[in-house]
Structure 1
Amino acid sequence: MITLLGAFILLIIGYFVYSKVVEKVFGIDDSKKTPAYTEQDGMDYVPLSSWKGSLIQLINIAGTGPIFGALMGALYGPVAFIWIVVGSIFAGAVHDYFSGMLSVKHKGEQFPSIVGRYLGNGVKAFVNVLSIVLMILVAAAFTASPAQLISSISPISFTMALLLVFCYFILVAVLPINKIIAKIYPLLGVILIFMAAAIAVALMFDGKAIPNITLENLHPGELPIWPLLMVTITCGAISGFHATQSPIVAKTLQKESDGRKVFYGAMIGEGAIALIWAAAGMTFFGGTAGLQDALALGGPAGVVNDISTSLLGTMGGVLAIICVILLPVTTGDTALRSSRMLLSDMLSRFLKFEGKAKIFLVTGIVSVPTFLLATIDYSFLWRYVGWTNQLSATIMLWTATVFLLNHRKFHWICGLPAIFMTGVAGTYIFYAPEGFQLSYGISLVIGTIITIIVIIWYIRKIIQAHKLKNTPTIKAA
């Protein structure tokens, strides 16, 4: 109990204190018109209030991520609390703030274009492909999971449920942001927050002891904490998927000072939700072994239903269904919308026409592989989301680091978490089942070597910045 309350307090302090540090380092100017006004098109660039933008951002980046991921991460024990809190404050929220505000700074540019400005066109080309693959994987995974649940609780077949969900995805991808997203998502954001808060209150009065902090690895399968925990809990700590979603809301910001509430604040909110569900997973089933058994029996969706129904009764059951059906849908549809924007930017030199014809054409191109992937095993898809997700986060942090170096600003706020995430991504891919499947020891050595090489590059950039301190900018790598 004390650990959970302390974790909440730290997240609150992180928002009210560290977010202001991050905002000051970035440098905002409310006298400048945002892209919502300078590029206003009635489709993607539409001014929205900060409260609405915050709730849309929360739903875009969250979905079931901070619930399912936190439950899987809870298998490691209370050490997951540390990663959620530290990751959210110093890595995830910083990542989200810079991915959103750099998009605002550059007229609502997408993630790959921002990367290209600061890390060069070679990295941009790689990130273009990586981002579209990630978006398609996420959209496919979040088409399949709600379709599976719909077919299990109704007479609708899986194929028909898949088609219904996917038709909705396409509708959201091609309609103006203020038609569906701006109207429905704030309400879903409130539901997500209410559900988490209700679970937290019920958990505290349930009589079961919420585990206190320990660094001990309690995973029943004896899987290593590093780097698996950091890839298991992504949306509740740091997620590269957010870098592809933040530009959606960046196109709607009314003023630059809204960025702290919308981007940094939404990530802190997501961290709080992850904390609640990690604590619920560890507590409700009497420890990590019980949680593992429950996950094996009913999967994350079944665990959410068990916890919600037992703690909140009938209302909990209804909220659980909303959670595991509607929330994945809200992530999948914006993932498809993002992939439409990304591919549209990539093909801009070939597709000289604009307007609805281009929107429908590009949406159709990304829809075909998304739908086909949605028909295969959901767990298989999700394994490949994890690493591409954290690699994207690493690249975004390095992009922000170079931006700060270029502008003679305190680059360490992005550089240090970028180094950490380099180690995570560099180690995980060599150890993971979906990667090279090398031994843990060899994977650690390779990951360390990769991290050292990147640190050397970083030091060279710092030295270059000091040598060129009298020049207005530093040429991007």
Structure 2
Amino acid sequence: MNSLIVALVAYVGFLIAYRLYGTFISERIFGLDASRKTPAHEFNDGVDYVPTKPEILFGHHFTTIAGAGPIVGPAIAVIWGWVPALLWIFFGSIFMGAIHDFGSLVISARHQGKSVSRITSDLLGPRAGTLFLILTAFALLIVIAVFCLVIAVLFDMFPQSVLPIWVEVPVAIAIGYWIYRGSGNPTIAGIIAIIILYIFVIIGVYVPLKMPGFIAGNPIMTWTVILLIYAYIASTLPVWVLLQPRDYINSHQLFVALALLFLGLIVAHPPIVAPAVNTNIADAPAFIPFLFITIACGAISGFHSMAASGTTVKQLDKETDAKFVGYGAMLMEGALAVMVVMAATAGFGSAAAWTEHYASWKAANGLGAKVGAFINGGATFVSSIGIPEAVAAGILAVMVVSFAATTLDSATRIQRYIISELASSYNINILSGRHGATLLAVLTAFILASFNGGKGGLILWPLFGASNQLMAGLALLVISVWLIKIKKPSIYTLLPMIFVLVMTSWAMVINTINFYRASNWLLFVLSLLIILLEIWLILEAIGAFRRVKTAPAVESGGTTASK
């Protein structure tokens, strides 16, 4: 199969879905209203609540939800064949992920910018809300600890990415001040920033920087400490100083990288050398249900609901921007995941090379194998248009690390919100403020990460895939309850909810049995607790469904909406 034709069909499909299904959902189901006052205006504080132009907010939201997720997931899932991976990315993005992200953003905007977990408390009851908060905090702890490791390992694997990544920080700050304090043009600012970035990408190729092991003789641990200090600073600064402009630059990176990759596909149009379906894999888990938790970002991911109702909603200028930012950014992530599938299948050049790389689940599951499949395969595409392969690899490596860094500090900021919410509920004043909550977020992540030479987060990583998808299903459940409450059709969120919860629960039960058989008591107990938590929340939701079914309709904005 020709990779260019496959990618082109997928991209046209995404455009049609945005125009038709996205418009239907936003206008007919959620009834977006440009005159409705958003939390960004209602609570504008210049730090977290900042009304933002949609093109800048799109960049922030996209790079926050993307991270390395739509790269590492598809890059390993193609081991089951490129067709199942592509179908899940395409239909999952359109009918599940985009609605999940969009719905989380809108429901949060209609509830004064509260997180989905806080809205859970309003709709399902205080017990359910607290349980959801705890589950969210647990997942974010893993994300922060593991993404420190991911970035540290990528810096070690691709030292050419170190210089441009850190140069991007002062450039982003300068852009932020120029736009918000000097009335600079965002488009011109983005062009200037991306030119500077790629100048340093080229310099970085010829001046790679390797980190010595200053801490415990381990460069990975050294990078982990530096990254957590950075995450603390980035997540406590006003959002317009670093978070927004850096993410805006990163979104430009994506457009440039996708354009280069697509041009490479046009020029080289290599055939897909991987099998369409492949179920005979050494030591691999069952194709169903594990495909649906292996590819999360790129199809549907619970972390996106945290981002949408955590940082993004606080910057939403107009409610009608939610379609472009929430629904559109998820489809863009799907487009990136499609390109990853092409790079990890057609980028190998021969069936023998692909088979060697994906010889077994263990061989394909390492971080280096997953990221390397995309960067090396993608560099093959880009080099076909005349860009040196080393420079092409540098461009893609910087993009991957930039996205991972965005997820790191956005997750830290969201964890700060979660800790503040819990601390306020229990009157722990020292942790309810910006700095106290952030300090606890980075310290707990450091404690987890410091085990096993900076790789401690991997101890709990086997729980993250299923926990993340569980949160996606529960977020869809909360959105469905709200739609029923305002007497709107809920079938468009209920069906995705049922599918995600069934597949995730299936995978969690299998994993729990495997943890028990392996005598891995830590993961067995935690996995069992998560399953019980899921059952508890579903029972709470059933009670809420019964209550709202018989309750009179309320205004779609809820009691907190204002015009």
Fold shared by both chains (TM-score > 0.5): yes
Name the aligned partner's letter for residue 9 of structure 2.
Answer: G
Contact 2:274-2:345 within 8 A present in 1 as well:
no
Q: 3-state SS of the aligned residue for 2:49?
A: coil
Of the candidates 403, 408, 419, which is equivalent to residue 327 of structure 1? Answer: 403
Instruction: Give the CA deviation at 1:380.
Output: 3.9
- In 2 relative to 1, CA 10–438 (structure 1 residues): closer, same or farther, beyond 3 Å? farther
Aligned to 2:178: none
**Cα distance, 1:42–1:238 mapped onto 2, change above 3 Å:** same
Summarize the Cα distance change of 1:345–1:307 in structure 2 as closer, same or farther, 3 Å threshold: same
Question: What does residue range 237-386 of structure 1 map to in structure 2 within 5 Å?
Answer: 237-247=299-309, 248-285=311-348, 286-287=350-351, 289-293=355-359, 295=364, 298-312=368-382, 313-351=389-427, 358-374=433-449, 375-377=454-456, 379-386=458-465
Q: 1:68 aligns with which of 64, 72, 76?
A: 72
Question: In the alignment, which residue of structure 2 is the partner of 1:391?
Answer: 470
Q: 1:112 aligns with which of 98, 101, 117?
A: 117
Q: State the match for 1:57 in structure 2.
A: 61
Q: Hey, what's the Cα distance between the residues in 2 that align with 1:467 and 1:146?
A: 50
CA RMSD of aligned residues (A): 3.1
Q: 1:34 aligns to what?
A: 38
CA apart distance, 1:208:
2.5
**C-alpha distance in 1 between matches for 2:116 and 2:536:** 24
Instruction: State the TM-score, normalizing by the size of structure 1.
Output: 0.88
* Residue-pair matches, total: 463
Unpaired runs of 5+ in structure 2?
A: 160-209, 214-218, 383-388, 519-532, 559-563
Counterpart of 2:21 in structure 1 is 18
Partners of 1:118 and 1:129 in 2: CA distance: 17
* Superposed displacement of residue 215, structure 1: 6.0
Match of 1:89 among 82, 85, 94: 94
Q: In the TM superposition, what is the alpha-carbon distance from 1:408 to its structure 2 partner?
A: 0.9
The C-alpha deviation readout for 1:63-122, integer Å capped at 9, x for no partner, is 111111110111111211110011000100000001111111111111210122222222
Q: Structure 1 pair 438/11, CA: closer, same or farther in 2 (3 Å)? A: farther
Q: In the TM superposition, what is the alpha-carbon distance from 1:467 to its structure 2 partner?
A: 5.0
Which deviates more, 117-126 or 201-210?
201-210
Q: Distance in 2 between matches of 1:434 and 1:299?
A: 27
Q: Secondary structure, in 3 states, of the residue corresponding to 1:32?
A: coil
Q: How big is the shift at 1:304?
A: 3.0
Question: 1:227 deviation in Å?
Answer: 1.2
Alpha-carbon shift at residue 132 of structure 1 (Å): 0.6
Return the alpha-carbon distance in structure 1 between the equivalents of residues 116 and 553 of structure 2. 27
State how far apart, in whole Å, the 2-side matches of 1:221 and 1:283 are: 24
Give, as a single letter, the amino acid of the residue that structure 2 aligns with 1:316.
A
Cα distance in 2 for partners of 1:23, 1:322 equals 35
CA distance in 2 between partners of 1:115 and 1:456 (Å): 13
Kindly provide the amino acid, as one letter, of the partner of residue 212 in structure 2. I
Percent of pairs with identical residues: 26
Separation (CA, whole Å) in 1 of partners of 2:402 and 2:119 = 31
Deviations 1:320-377 (A, max 9, x none): 33134322111111101100001101111444769x9821111111211101222225
Cα offset, 1:6, TM superposition: 2.0
In 2: Cα distance, 1:167 partner to 1:427 partner: 38
Q: Does 1:46 align with 2:50?
A: yes
The alpha-carbon deviation at position 150 of structure 1 amounts to 2.5
- Tell me, in whole angstroms, the C-alpha distance in 2 between the residues paired with 1:118 and 1:219: 44
- Residues 346/19 of structure 1: CA separation in 2 closer, same or farther (3 Å cut): same
SS of the residue 1:251 aligns to: helix
Query: 1:191-233: CA deviations, max 9, x gaps?
Result: 1232233223323432521369956646565532211011000
Q: Taking structure 1 as reference, are residues 292 and 328 closer, same or farther at Cα in structure 2, changes over 3 Å only? A: same
Note if contact 1:422-1:451 (Cα within 8 Å) is conserved in structure 2: no
Query: 1:43 deviation in Å?
Result: 1.1
Counterpart CA distance in 2 for 1:139 and 1:310 is 32
Note if 1:156 corresponds to 2:212. Answer: yes
Distance 1:465 1:326, change over 3 A: closer
Residue 442 (structure 1) aligns with: none
Deviations 1:168-208 (A, max 9, x none): 11111111100101111111111123223322332343252
**Alignment pair present for 1:79 and 2:84:** yes
Q: 1:207 to 1:105 in 2, by over 3 A?
A: closer
Corresponding letter in the other structure for 1:142: F
Residues 382 and 199 of structure 1: CA distance in aligned 2, closer, same or farther (over 3 Å)? farther
Give the alignment's TM-score, normalised by structure 2: 0.76
User: Structure 1 residues 415, 399: closer, same or farther in 2, change over 3 A?
Assistant: same
Deviation of the 1:262 alpha carbon: 0.4
1:303: how far off? 2.3
Would the aligned equivalents of 1:430 and 1:438 in 2 still touch at CA under 8 Å? no
Separation (CA, whole Å) in 2 of partners of 1:115 and 1:255: 24
Deviates more, 1:91-100 or 1:326-335: 326-335
- Give the conservation status (yes or no) of the 8 Å contact 2:274–2:346: no
The C-alpha deviation readout for 1:146-178, integer Å capped at 9, x for no partner, is 112334530432232222211111111111100
Q: CA–CA distance in 2 between the matches of 1:55 and 1:335?
A: 16
**C-alpha offsets along residues 418-464 of structure 1, whole Å, 9 cap, x if unaligned?**
0001111110111127965689xxxxxxxxxx999999998987776
Write the distance in 2 (CA, Å) between the matches of 1:203 and 1:221. 33
Equivalent-residue separation in structure 2 for 1:211 and 1:370 (angstroms) = 41
1:174 — aligned with what?
Answer: 236
C-alpha spacing 1:183/1:463, structure 2 compared with 1 (3 Å)? closer
Conserved? CA contact 1:79–1:217, under 8 Å: no
User: Aligned partner of 2:497: which letter?
Assistant: A
Closer/same/farther in 2, CA of residues 284 and 185 from structure 1, 3 Å limit: same
Residue type matched to 2:480 in 1?
Answer: T
Matched with 1:444 is: none
- Residue 227 of structure 1 aligns to a residue whose secondary structure is helix
